[in-house]
Amino acid sequence: MILFCSPTCAYGHQIRIVLNEKAIDSGVEFIDPAHPPEDLIDLNPYGSMPTLVDRDLVLYDARIIMEYLDERFPHPPLVPTDPVGRARSRMLVHRIERDWYPYLEPIEAGDGPGAAHGRNRLRESLIAASPVFGAKPYFLSEDYSLVDCVLAPLLWRLGALGVDLPSSCDTIRRYARRVFEREAFQASLSEHERGLVVFAEAWVV
């Protein structure tokens, strides 16, 4: 099994967290997304990342990859086993990816109006949601789950994105500290992502 991903991509980071949480013996090959290798293009017609290759199976959607890993390696479970719990988990992942992740691209693209708008909207949305982070030890759950694997890479990047949160968002800081200190999260970081720790220190003091 091998995961092809960019060392800077938050979606690839999500999968690397899952791989480490489950202690899956896999390889990770970091790729420049602007110049994907020919063998990856042969495997994935879109040449997109992240891409997971497991024998004859090729997957290239982060959510599909993570759910596949959770089903193939069921321990520890990252998604509830009952249908209602699984549906709720999927809805939370959907909302995080729809409400917060779309702002990453315009912010990372530069310092123009689009970046400023995205930065402000992401900041405002997180502030509005801050009470939710304090409801339970993990994101709306007593147990660490796939939802946290999706959310953690976004929070880790906030400082580098220039998204600062007021002191009233201490619930987010406590939640971030909890997920950042996990051994699997630390093991999932690329060298680039480790370089962001200087920006994330404000979250773990």
Q: CATH number, domain at 123?
A: 1.20.1050.10
CATH assignment of the domain containing 25: 3.40.30.10
Tens-digit pLDDT profile for residues 135-181: 999 999 999 999 999 999 999 999 989 898 888 899 999 999 999 99
Provide the CA 109 distance to its chain's centre, in angstroms.
19
The answer to whether residue 77 is domain-embedded is no
Same domain assignment for residues 66 and 109: no
Mean predicted lDDT score pLDDT of the chain: 91
Burial 58-84 (b: 16+ CB within 10 A, else e): ebbebbebbbbbbeebeeeebbbeeee
**Same structural domain, 146 and 52:** no
Residue 12 domain flag: yes
Whether 111 and 193 share a structural domain? yes
Select from 40, 72, 104 the last residue of a domain: 72
Co-location of 51 and 15 in the same domain: yes
Structural domain range at position 172? 83-204
Residue 196 inside a domain? The answer is yes
Residue 191 sits in the same domain as residue 117:
yes
Whether residues 58 and 145 share a domain: the answer is: no
Kindly report the pTM of this predicted structure: 0.92
Q: Which of 47-56, 58-67, 71-80, 185-194 has the lowest mean pLDDT?
A: 47-56
Indicate whether 87 and 187 sit together in one domain.
yes
**Of all residues in the chain, what percent carry a pLDDT higher than 70?**
96
Residues 98 and 67 in one domain: no
**CA 128 from chain center: how many Å?**
20
Q: What is the DSSP string of 69-96?
A: HHHHS-SS-SS-SSHHHHHHHHHHHHHH
- Asked if 88 contacts 82 with a C-beta cutoff of 8 angstroms, the reply is no
Instruction: Please give the residue that has the higher pLDDT: either 196 or 190.
Output: 190
Q: If DSSP codes are grouped into helix, strand and coil, which group holds residue 13?
A: helix
Domains: count for the chain: 2
Spatial strand order of the sheet with 27-30 comes to: 27-30, 2-5, 51-54, 57-59
